[in-house]
């Protein structure tokens, strides 16, 4: 019987976890942005609501950039390759 232990680098595991969490947050941010755009296009929101959503989405995008920089994660690192399904996040 062989010893099948994994040699895990704790720092790398932590960095991978940060990248995964930021990927999920970025996915949710993009979904919220698309939903807001759809509601604006349909005229479901007042001018005040539209302005508030725009400001909120802008601040959220800015905060995501700060978090990525703080943790040494490039924005392109947030896009998981799902094999034959393509990538998790749409490419701009």
pLDDT in tens, 2-49: 556 656 677 788 888 999 999 999 999 999 999 999 999 999 899 999
Indicate whether 88 belongs to any domain: no
Q: What is the pLDDT of residue 72?
A: 93
Q: What is the pLDDT of residue 4?
A: 62
Which of 50 and 9 is assigned the larger pLDDT?
Answer: 50
For tokens 């296009």, the residue is 41
Give the range of the structural domain holding residue 42, as residue numbers without chain letter: 29-72
Indicate whether 37 belongs to any domain: yes
**In the chain, how many domains are there?**
1
Which of 45 and 88 is assigned the larger pLDDT?
Answer: 45
Indicate whether 52 belongs to any domain: yes
Q: What is the pLDDT of residue 3?
A: 58
Indicate whether 33 belongs to any domain: yes
Q: What is the pLDDT of residue 65?
A: 94
Give the contacts of 67 (CB within 8 A, at least 6 positions apart). 22, 25, 73
Chain centroid to CA 33: 12
CA distances from 5 to 2, 8, 61 (A): 9, 9, 40
69 and 12 Cβ atoms separated by less than 8 Å: no
24 and 89 Cβ atoms separated by less than 8 Å: no
The 3-state DSSP class for residue 24 equals helix
Q: What is the pTM of this model?
A: 0.75
Chain centroid to CA 48: 26
Indicate if the pLDDT at residue 63 is higher than 90. yes
Indicate whether 86 belongs to any domain: no
Indicate whether 13 belongs to any domain: no
Indicate whether 67 belongs to any domain: yes
Indicate whether 82 belongs to any domain: no
Q: What is the pLDDT of residue 12?
A: 80
């Amino acid at each position: 019987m062989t010893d099948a232990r994994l040699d895990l680098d704790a720092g790398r595991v932590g960095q991978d976890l940060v990248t995964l969490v930021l990927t999920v947050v970025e996915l949710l941010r993009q979904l919220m942005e698309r939903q807001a755009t759809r509601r604006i296009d349909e005229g479901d929101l007042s001018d005040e609501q539209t302005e508030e959503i725009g400001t909120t989405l802008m601040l959220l995008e800015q905060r995501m950039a700060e978090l990525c920089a703080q943790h040494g994660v490039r924005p392109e690192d947030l896009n998981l390759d799902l094999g034959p399904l393509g990538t998790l996040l749409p490419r701009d």
